[in-house]
Structure 1
Amino acid sequence: MSRLTTGALVLYKIRPARVIEVTDKITIELEGGKSKRVRDKDVVLLHPGPLSDLKQLTPQNGEVEENWELLEGAETDIKELSELVFGDYTPAMAWASWQLVAEGIYFEGSPASIHPRSADAVESEIAERNKKAAEAEAWEGFMQRVRSGAIIDEDRKTLGEVEALALEKRENSRILQALEIQETPVNAHRLLIKTGYWPANESPYPRRMGIDETIPDHAVPTLPEEARLDLTRLPAYAIDDEDNQDPDDAVSLDDERIWVHVADVAALVTPDSEMDLDARARGANLYLPDRVIPMLPPQVTDRLGLGLQEKSPALSIGFTLSVTGEVEDVEIHPSWVRVERISYVAADQRLQEEPFAALLAMSRRYRQRRQQAGAATIQLPEVKIKARDDKVEIEPLPRLQSREMITDLMLMAGEGVAGFCQSREIAVPFATQAPPDQLEQPEDLAGMYAYRRYFKPTRIKTQAEPHAGLGLAVYTRATSPLRRYSDLLAHQQLRAHLKGGAVLDIHAISERIAQSELGSMANRKTERVSNDHWRLVYLRDNPGWQGEAVIVAKEGERTTVLLPSIAMEARVRIRGEAGLNDRIRLKPREIDIPDLSCYFRVV
């Protein structure tokens, strides 16, 4: 038979309970009126009672510290502690006494064996609890400021965990958990904007992608003394966008021979030098709307950019073009050139003059040959996005004959270099692309949009394979060594061959390609999402914006459109009759910059 009687106060786990029946088991009443049958050993007696209602266990006032000191080094029980601290032993006082023990500041033990804690332990415990209380108070104040979006400087360190989540450097955040917000980079981005931790236009993508945002500052050697072919007698033109800062190619015409001059970067950036290793890791220049992060020190461009000095060192690629558009009689030389820089717009106005008229005719002949070989002519809208001092400008790129001409001349040079290297067994990075399942020559925007999706991405390989999109049997990129590592790698191989030195073997080239492609892929993704970000900032900052959209795909009411003026793809619902290539007018109805999304409506 149990020692307990009806009405006794017992401790069940950590809660008070009242005994309401004693048989083979004990029936107890818990706070809230719920009853439960338990074993005798499941409860501990605090007071024999009688206790008629648990609500009688009210808070008690007593002399805790004085009696803690009085009991120093002694042992007591719940009855004696209750009498000492509260002056009597009632159920309410017994429960208050046990709470003192459970609190663990001055006393510890069980109801039958209670010990006062040492002075050092009490002092340490109180200090620790005060510290936690202060931290809890500070946390609550911090969370109130976060909720209201009015943080102070001291809060920035704490919000660092949210920034790490926004940058995909961690997967969780105590702050977002406390706010009951799903822990995603997008939500973290939103909170950082709301609180002012980030400015409203913050673009996190370079950091999120792990981009090295530093500007290379390696020591740049002097140009080596060497024999160079003097081509300064030929007028040479570096034709590019008006604001281009790294002119690395120019063109000349010498009777029937075309010359493509390329900045001689490999003359200063040698294989496995510090500059080379850094450029290899970066893969390419990173072109963002708000800045450019180069893969090489700016001093390299200052010294080698074509037209930036009165006379420029170049690697010049000379060739002729057959009547059927074949690149023939390729020669490559380190050279000196005298270059005039002009814009595409200016060049377009001079296409009736020589040498531009002849170069234009040759480029058309070459393009015709490539088209007959299946080259894709896909002209989707393109724009240039600039963000300066939080002001965003979007400038559509016009379809200029000069731009198409230069593109073809650079492709000629790349094809010529590829053939030159292939015939001499010089390993270089070849640009290849598998053909689509069927060849087409779409002429409208919807057709081009659909056909583009049939093509697989361009791959950089050590084996020469066709590039279907360009309509070329063999091709390497060799005209942009200031801004693309694969071009620099080709130049390093060419220079080694031309100087009679040892070229890298195919395995070394393959390893370098793999290393540089990691950086290149990160750059391409960063450029794409950064452009999307600043495009949405532009739309947000121009609330009255409306634009013409062209329908390029349809699936029921779900329609895909292109907005040419901002080069943006969007999806809208359109009821009624609307066909491919029809034009509609749209305006934004909801812009979510952290989510990189914008929903449009028809106007």
Structure 2
Amino acid sequence: MNVFYEESGSFKVGSIVARNDASLQVDTQHGKRAKIKAANVLLEFSSDLGAFLPAAEALAGELDLDFLWACAPDDDFDYQTLGAEYFGHLPTAIESAALLMKLMGAPMYFYKKGRGRFKRAPEEALKAALAGIEKKKREQAQIDAWVVELEAGQLPDALRPHLMTLLFRPDKNTLEYKAFDAACRSLNLPPLRMAARVGGIPSVPEYLLAGFLMEHFPKGAGFGPLPPVNAPADLPLAEVEAFSIDDAATTEIDDALSLVTLPNGNRRVGIHIAAPTLGIAPGSEVEKLVFNRLSTVYFPGDKITMLPDSVVEVFTLQEGAACPAVSLYVEVTPDFEPVGFENRIERVRIAANLRHDQLEQVFNEETLAAADGGPDYPFKDALTWLWNFAVALEKRRGKHDPTRPVQMDYSFAIEDGRVLITPRRRGAPMDKLVSELMILANSEWGRMLAEAGIPAMYRAQSMGKVRMTTKPEPHIGLGVAQYAWATSPLRRATDFVNQRQLLAMIRGEKPEFEEGNAMLFAILRDFDAAYSAYLGFQDRMEHFWCLRWFTQEGVTEPTATFIKEDLVRIDGLPLRLRVGGLPELTAGERIRLQVVRIDELMQEIELRYLGRLEAPPALSETAVG
């Protein structure tokens, strides 16, 4: 006796060798012995084993599925009952096997209710299932058509608006993804290579920016309509004239300085910080914007500001205007010793916005050291005195080390697709002057807030790690007991929040954020994450433009300074790279390299070691964001 049975979704036949209650041993049509479950046996037959299955499969292919469904009763039925109705007689073993194959192979038409028993699907359910099948066929046809275009090097119009999503945040359930993925696998290309192959990446910076915006500015970098913001008009006018020192491209001018001589021979240094919190109400739409964006994003050639121009223009410390400011006045002795601090909320006349590119030509180490005092220029006396005060402040922090190798900062400018990378010595007079006075303001305001019991956002460093905290803790790297970010409220949410707390302290009012405030912790956490992401994006963009610089300038054999292991610093660029095959070298040795390959799309560069340079490094260069 032979059996027709189902196993692992396939129909098989075999000759019975032994029979037990729950299982059978059979010899299959291919001569192999197998043990099968009795429950899997669909029917028994005595006809030729080898011819049975082909005959049943052939007949199953001829059965009319729609007619079978029409013939079936509404209630559960046995397959033989349906077979008698369909064939007009009790079905033979081959007809039964063919019918079982057809019924079990059409789950949309017939629901399986037990061994040999079925129920036909309701008409509406069947129509819906068939419509789904038809839809899948149409969708697959569309996918196949898109794949053909992609393989031919063409980007289908339907995929073009979704390309960045496919690269950065793909939804694997979409037709666009399925087509793009199929083409990538067909041509054995990673998605970014495929996108470039079909002309979807005309510009690598635009591609990088698109991905960044998709993740951090999903609604776009623009600003929607906002209620107008006004500066208070009733603030007292300070009896000083201040000046700012910024890069030429800076529009969010947060800080300015002033200097006056007091009757007792001391000097009073004014550190004036833009005060947007005086015009942006707590809980307002603009404040929500601050806590959503958290910081201005900088990258070569452009920036995404935290606040819209309409708000920045009201509070930026613009030359020729009397601007609202929170001022820290520091009384300093002729020996450059701070002996008194005073806070004021006021309007400050901004006499000038000095710019780095022009100021550095006349205010630098050489002119400061000149025997004749160097050339005359605006604010020369104030700048010279403030420079000496800045050096004294650096010494007080224990960070003044004339023997330390000079480090470099770099600025990027993009002009007509060309990158200009300009190095500037870190610690140059104008930089040190501003940075030291900002460190003084941030550390002193942090101290005052702590003594007043008002929480704030601090930057702390210990064990080589920098972190954000709401408690005043030492910043070892800066050499201060506490460091509250408070001098860039137009550009950072931390400084904006700290300014709100400062205003409350100065006015003797209840602060917006009291001790243990959950919102303060939430803003700090969000800011820390966003700020790190923004800096990471800036680094990626600068890395690209450094790679472009090699090609643009035709540099094929750059020089570099060895750092350690296989890590080198390319001379003249804020670029650290790993180079294989380096010999034993000493930190600081300069070497010659050869550019082997640059892949701007994948942001890769391959260098080969050529040899040592005799001259020692003139400068220690450090890339900064």
- TM-score category by the smaller chain? 0.7 to 0.9
1:12/1:374 Cα in 2 relative to 1: closer, same or farther (>3 Å)?
same
Greater mean deviation of Cα atoms: 350-359 or 490-499: 490-499
Match of 2:393 among 366, 376, 379: 366
2:253 maps to 247
1:446 maps to none
**Pairs aligned (count):** 564
Letter of the 1:365 counterpart? A
Match of 2:576 among 526, 551, 569: 569
Match of 2:12 among 17, 20, 25: 17
1:378/1:293 Cα in 2 relative to 1: closer, same or farther (>3 Å)?
farther
TM-score, normalised to structure 2's length? 0.74
CA distance in 2, matches of 1:458, 1:65: 70
Pair 1:230-2:232 in alignment: no
Letter of the 2:134 counterpart? N
Which is bigger in relative contact order (C-alpha 8 A, separation at least 6)? 1
Pair 1:293-2:304 in alignment: yes
Q: 1:269–1:276: 8 Å Cα contact kept in structure 2?
A: yes
Pair 1:461-2:470 in alignment: yes
Letter of the 1:219 counterpart? P
Match of 2:382 among 355, 359, 364: 355
1:445 maps to none
1:528 maps to 535
1:393/1:141 Cα in 2 relative to 1: closer, same or farther (>3 Å)?
farther
CA distance in 2, matches of 1:379, 1:290: 27
Paired-residue identity, %: 18
2:521 maps to 514
2:327 maps to 316
1:426/1:587 Cα in 2 relative to 1: closer, same or farther (>3 Å)?
farther
Match of 1:402 among 423, 430, 442: 430
Letter of the 1:467 counterpart? H
Matched position secondary structure for 1:368: helix
1:64 maps to 64
1:205/1:378 Cα in 2 relative to 1: closer, same or farther (>3 Å)?
farther
User: How many Å apart are 1:476 and its aligned residue?
Assistant: 3.4
User: How many Å apart are 1:133 and its aligned residue?
Assistant: 3.0
CA distance in 2, matches of 1:598, 1:31: 62
Q: 1:9–1:48: 8 Å Cα contact kept in structure 2?
A: no
Letter of the 1:99 counterpart? M
2:103 maps to 101
2:616 maps to none
CA distance in 2, matches of 1:342, 1:396: 19
User: How many Å apart are 1:373 and its aligned residue?
Assistant: 8.4
Pair 1:485-2:493 in alignment: yes
User: For each residue in 1:198-252, what CA deviation from the matched residue of structure 2 results, as whole angstroms up to 9, or x when unmatched?
Assistant: 66522223543578845375324322232413335x3x32111111111121222
TM-score, normalised to structure 1's length? 0.76
2:623 maps to none
1:86-165 to 2 correspondences below 5 Å: 95-104=97-106, 125-142=129-146, 150-155=154-159, 162=166, 165=169
CA distance in 2, matches of 1:108, 1:372: 81
CA distance in 2, matches of 1:537, 1:28: 69
Listed as ranges, the gaps of 5+ residues in structure 2 are 262-266, 364-373, 375-379, 611-625
User: For each residue in 1:287-325, what CA deviation from the matched residue of structure 2 results, as whole angstroms up to 9, or x when unmatched?
Assistant: 233543333332222122112554333333322334554
CA distance in 2, matches of 1:376, 1:419: 31
User: For each residue in 1:306-348, what CA deviation from the matched residue of structure 2 results, as whole angstroms up to 9, or x when unmatched?
Assistant: 1255433333332233455432222233133132112123222
CA distance in 2, matches of 1:32, 1:197: 55
1:411 maps to 439
1:346 maps to 358
Listed as ranges, the gaps of 5+ residues in structure 1 are 437-454
Matched position secondary structure for 1:354: helix
Q: 1:386–1:394: 8 Å Cα contact kept in structure 2?
A: yes
1:539/1:231 Cα in 2 relative to 1: closer, same or farther (>3 Å)?
same
Q: 1:238–1:341: 8 Å Cα contact kept in structure 2?
A: yes
CA distance in 2, matches of 1:33, 1:593: 62
1:169-318 to 2 correspondences below 5 Å: 201=204, 202-203=207-208, 204-208=211-215, 213-215=221-223, 218-231=226-239, 234=241, 236-255=242-261, 256-289=267-300, 291-318=302-329
CA distance in 2, matches of 1:462, 1:292: 31
1:18/1:249 Cα in 2 relative to 1: closer, same or farther (>3 Å)?
closer
2:619 maps to none
Match of 2:559 among 548, 551, 568: 548
Letter of the 1:293 counterpart? I
User: For each residue in 1:51-106, what CA deviation from the matched residue of structure 2 results, as whole angstroms up to 9, or x when unmatched?
Assistant: 33567446346463796488465978569949966999787665544332223266
Matched position secondary structure for 2:58: coil
Matched position secondary structure for 2:381: coil
Letter of the 1:477 counterpart? W
1:258/1:330 Cα in 2 relative to 1: closer, same or farther (>3 Å)?
same
